[in-house]
Structure formats: C-alpha cells, structure tokens
Structure 1
Amino acid sequence: MKMNWAGVMPAVTTKFTDGDQLDLSMFSKNINAQLEAGVHALILGGTLGEASTLTQQEKQTLIEHTVDLVAGKVPVVINIAEQTTKGAILAAEQAEKYGAKAIMILPPMRYKSTDYETVAYFRAVAQNTSLPMMIYNNPVDYKIEVTLDMLEELLVHDNIQAVKDSARDITNVTRMRNRFGNRVKILCGVDTLALESMVMGADGWVAGLVCAFPRETVAIYELVKAGKIKEAITIYRWFMPLLELDISPQLVQNIKLAEVATGLGTEIVRLPRLPLQGKERERVLAIIEEGMRTRHSILNLVNSKVGV
C-alpha cells in the first residue's frame, strides 16, 4: 500500500470534557478546520494527542470517528508508541482494522534498545502489517537515534517509506537526500525548523501549532513548494514565537491554550497533566495574545499569496 508522505500533517490534540470523557464535538470542529485549511493527512495518538493516557477503547473511538469524519479526503495515520514488540504489532493490526491508512512509529518506549534491537523492532512491525510506515526519529526526547545505517537496513521493507525527523539537526535532511535520494520521504517533526527543512528538501511537516493555526501552517508549506520563499519567511517570522511553544515539556498545555484563542479547542488535559499555572501561564498567554493581535495582517498575506 502506498501513501503520499508529503505536505502538512497535524499531530492533532485529543479533546476532553470536564468529566474526563472524549469531547468528540470539539475534536470534530478542529478536524474540520484542518480539512478546510488543506492539510494533507491527520496523525492521531502522538505525544500531543496524550496517547499514553488513552484507553484502547478511546483509541478505537478516535480512529473510527476520524475516518468517518474525513470521509476519504485525507489519510488518517495512527502513532504507535509501545513498550513491547508484541504490543506494537497488535497496535498496528488494530489501526488497520479500525480504518487507519498508515502508521507513524517510535522505537520501544522506556527500554533504551540497542541499534540492533531497534531495527528488529521496526522490522517485526513492518512484517506484520500491510500499512505504510513512517519511522519517528526523535533522539532528543526519546534517547534512541535511528541512524542512516539503520534506516538503510529498514528500507528493504516496501512499507517503510518515510521518516519523521525530530533530531533538531537541519543537516539530517541533506544527509538523507545524499544517501537515499527519493527512496525515503522526509517530514520535519520540529515546528521551529520546518521552513528550513523544506527548503533543504523535506517533503513535508508533521506539525503541532497547526492545531490552532491551520491556515498559516499550510500557507508556509504551499509557499515554499511554490518557490515563494520571501512570502513564506514573512509568515514564519510572525509564527516563530508561537512555534516555540511546541519545543517544551508542556507542549500539550501550550498548544491547547493556543487552540482556545482561535476557537478550536479547550485547555482541558488529562491527568497527570494539569493546565498551566502562575507565571508560566502568563508567559505563554502573552505570546499567544501577541500572535493573535498581529494575526490579521498575516491572514491577509495568506489570502493574497497562496494559490495565486
């Protein structure tokens, strides 16, 4: 099965009610805004989606609800972050059963696997699913690096097709292009490096602040791909203080506060997370408020430059 690993792919947040249930109404509002902005896929169950706090039934509900909601307009991708190989294989089987069209997968959780073990883990999942797979390389946060040599071993599997790179090293894009050409698709996984990564040849952007600002995020991608770098940079510079909210241990709380500002979410998180408090809350709100104050001129630029 092929997947077009390109474009803007929101790592969507999971919405909850005051009673700690899934808020499918607000979730749907956000997803519809993403679709209207022109995103190219939707990724469920990532860190931003608070996947570690979700039950299996909730994951099933989210996948099936999203698949029904998008009605084939874009692929639904499920993130796999499991502690065991058996658990990862089961998660892949369930994702396919519930209607997901592709998988994004992290190395084993908690246990710091060796290079050999990490390759064996990814290989086992690839051999037990027909879904296309994107390897998630995030050595900064998860302490396991998927090296180019490891990726070379994995690309013998036809369904391992892409890498989400969150190594925070912009030269990785060039290294992968030099080594693999177009054999692997590359998506930037760090909001604050997205424009630079795409200019250097990345195929797309697994984005976080897109949850609150979908039109602006898609505009940057479209302008870069159209060669309108100057216009893309103008939006990107406005966006940067907001994008920096993604590179924080409290990225979920930060981005959910931004969603409140744009009417696309609530700030309800699931324990053990709690809403931001005190001076940190004030700091984040100030960034969001400044972004909202100046947003009108950016949206005017989006409307005038994208698609012309």
Structure 2
Amino acid sequence: MNEKFKGIYAVAVTPFKENGEFDLEQSKKNLDWLIENGVHGVCILGATGEYQSISDEEHMNYVREIVPYINGRVSVIVGASRERPEDVVKLVQNIKSCGADAAMVLSPFYCHPAQDEIVKFYHYVMDETDFPIVVYNNPGSAGVELEQDTYNEILKHPRAAIVKESSGDMHKLTQVLNDAPDTTSVFCGCDNLAFESFAAGACGWICMLANVAPRDCVDLYEAVCEEKDLEKGREIYKRILPSLDVLESFPKPVQALKHLLGCKGLNGGYVRKPRYELTKEEKAFVERAMAPEKIQ
C-alpha cells in the first residue's frame, strides 16, 4: 500500500448551470460538505464528474479553480482520461502544476488496444509527466480489460501509485492485491463490491455514493479496514447496499446523484448533453430505491 493513498475518495459530481457553464460556487459548497463529513479525498472529473462532456480547455480551467480550493485539506485525484496519450499528458501536466496528488487515467477507449499497447500507453504517460497515476481498469467503459500480466507490467513503473479496479470481478481484484508492489494502493472501483473489496484487502474506495452518503462510506471503511470489525461493517453495508446497487444498475447514476443532493439540501446542478435531466417518474424511483433519509 502507498501510505499516501487510502480511504474514501468521493468521485464528485460536477454542477453545471442551466446554460452549461460550470457552477463553481456550488462545486465548492458540495466539496466543503464532503470534507466536513470526513472523506479522506475527492476525485474530480471522473466519469461521475462528466469529464467526457467537457473540452480540454474547460477541464484545465476547472482544475485550476477547484484543486487549489481543496488542496491541503484532503487528498485530490483528478480524472484525465482521453484516447490520445498526448492529450492525457497535457491534462496531467496541468493537474500536476495545480497541486493535485494524482491523476486517474482510463486505458484508451473505443480503439480496443492490445495488451502491449496498454502497457506502453501507461508507461508513456508516467514517463512524460513524472506524476502519480491511478491505473483504471474499467472494461465496461474502455471496451478492453487489463489482463493480469498487463497489470504487472504497468505496476513496475514507480509512478503507478493506485489501481482502481472496476471490472466487477473479485477474483481479478484478489489477483491484483496479491501481485501489486508495496508502493501501489489498490482501490475498489465498484460501489456494490465495497465490503467484499475491503475484506479482501483493498485500502481505498473511489465511490459514487459518497456524494450523498459520505459518513456511511467512511464508517464502512473504518469498520472493516481500521477496526477489523467485519460484523459492524456488514451491518453498515446491508443498510446502504440498495443504494449502491442502484448506482451500479440504474442507467442514469449521475442524474440520480445530482437529484439526491437536492434532497439533502445541497445542489448537484444540471447535467451536460448528451445527458438529460430525470423525468418525474425517474426521480420518484430514485427517491424510493435509494431512500435518501436512510443514508448519511
């Protein structure tokens, strides 16, 4: 485990105004609330933060505004996924200059690179930036899965600081935990596998639910990873698992989180196209299925 990276990282939503501009003040209010409720870190401009829907220039401007606002209070990871490695490097260099702690990078998507190409992609990014990188395995988003030999080759690089394992395969997570060097932290990347991942040895969780239930997510981590109390952790997990299942199965998880922030007295803002706001029926389903009054 890399001692610098552990615990609960909320993969924060990005509030937009109705005209599509960033709502920076609301972003800051939401992040203040997360920090006040004990998260160990935040991840901005991940998939939950709609990074796919903003330009490189917008990405860099948002990072320049938000990272210094958070920096020094909790750890900050910034998503920097693009298909072209040169574009990733450009974004990571800006992230680095703004004082973030790491950049999260998905393997190239759509082009379905071969495993040796994925290794070269990550090594190129880490060589060019000399900055801690989150190696992100999400075959559902990238269209290709990191094989174990590929993981091992990538993690030989000293800048491979964290693995976010989002394949949904507990055996894969166990393999990574068994093989990862001591300098790399292994994080859960599937919301509804958090308890199992912690019990297996994962030391962190980049999670969606923490947007609206940061205290519950922190309590789960502390129970299983720090107190080694599986029964206590199981009781917390049992209560929040319906919400976690919704976030991993409902086709509009970003909108769901933004709506629930409103139910909590905060404001997730609008979404960017191609996403659209929830219908009245969808809002009712989210409120019924996730029961915001039962999570904290």
Normalised-by-shorter TM-score class: over 0.9
TM-score (norm 1): 0.89
Query: Between the two proteins, what is the percent identity of the paired residues?
Result: 27
- Which amino acid letter does the alignment assign opposite residue 281 of structure 1? K
How far the C-alpha of 1:282 sits from its partner, in A, is 2.6
State the alpha-carbon separation in 2 of the partners of residues 266 and 39 from structure 1.
Answer: 18
- Which amino acid letter does the alignment assign opposite residue 29 of structure 1? K
How far the C-alpha of 1:256 sits from its partner, in A, is 1.2
What is the 5 A alignment of 1:230-245? Answer: 230-245=231-246
Distance 1:209 1:136, change over 3 A: same
Query: 1:62-106 deviations in whole A, cap 9, x for unaligned?
Result: 222222322412222111211212111212222212332211110
Runs of 5+ unmatched residues, structure 2: none
Aligned to 2:194: 194
Query: 1:133-157 deviations in whole A, cap 9, x for unaligned?
Result: 1100011332211122012112221
Query: 1:21-75 deviations in whole A, cap 9, x for unaligned?
Result: 1111211111011111221221111110011112333322322222232241222
Of structures 1 and 2, the one scoring higher in RCO (CA 8 A, sep 6+) is: 2
Aligned to 2:254: 252
How far the C-alpha of 1:279 sits from its partner, in A, is 3.7
When structure 1 is superposed on structure 2, of 131-140 and 230-239 the one drifting more is: 230-239
Aligned to 1:75: 75
Query: 1:240-259 deviations in whole A, cap 9, x for unaligned?
Result: 11112321431111111121
CA contact (8 A) 1:64 1:99 kept: no
Aligned to 1:266: 268
When structure 1 is superposed on structure 2, of 44-53 and 141-150 the one drifting more is: 141-150
How far the C-alpha of 1:19 sits from its partner, in A, is 2.5
How far the C-alpha of 1:194 sits from its partner, in A, is 0.5
Aligned to 1:164: 164
What is the 5 A alignment of 1:53-92? Answer: 53-92=53-92
- Which amino acid letter does the alignment assign opposite residue 117 of structure 2? E
CA contact (8 A) 1:33 1:214 kept: no
Matched, 1:287 2:289: yes
Aligned to 1:51: 51
State the alpha-carbon separation in 2 of the partners of residues 182 and 264 from structure 1.
Answer: 39
State the alpha-carbon separation in 1 of the partners of residues 11 and 292 from structure 2.
Answer: 21
Aligned to 1:22: 22
How far the C-alpha of 1:181 sits from its partner, in A, is 5.6
State the alpha-carbon separation in 2 of the partners of residues 49 and 4 from structure 1.
Answer: 23
How far the C-alpha of 1:278 sits from its partner, in A, is 5.0
Query: 1:273-300 deviations in whole A, cap 9, x for unaligned?
Result: 0012254333222123x341x34xxx6x
SS in 2 for 1:135: strand
State the alpha-carbon separation in 1 of the partners of residues 269 and 244 from structure 2.
Answer: 17
State the alpha-carbon separation in 1 of the partners of residues 16 and 228 from structure 2.
Answer: 40
State the alpha-carbon separation in 1 of the partners of residues 172 and 109 from structure 2.
Answer: 23
State the alpha-carbon separation in 2 of the partners of residues 167 and 110 from structure 1.
Answer: 17
Distance 1:249 1:118, change over 3 A: farther
Aligned to 2:176: 176
Distance 1:34 1:278, change over 3 A: closer
SS in 2 for 1:163: strand
Runs of 5+ unmatched residues, structure 1: 300-308
What is the 5 A alignment of 1:89-238? Answer: 89-180=89-180, 182-225=182-225, 226-238=227-239
State the alpha-carbon separation in 2 of the partners of residues 28 and 245 from structure 1.
Answer: 26
SS in 1 for 2:131: coil
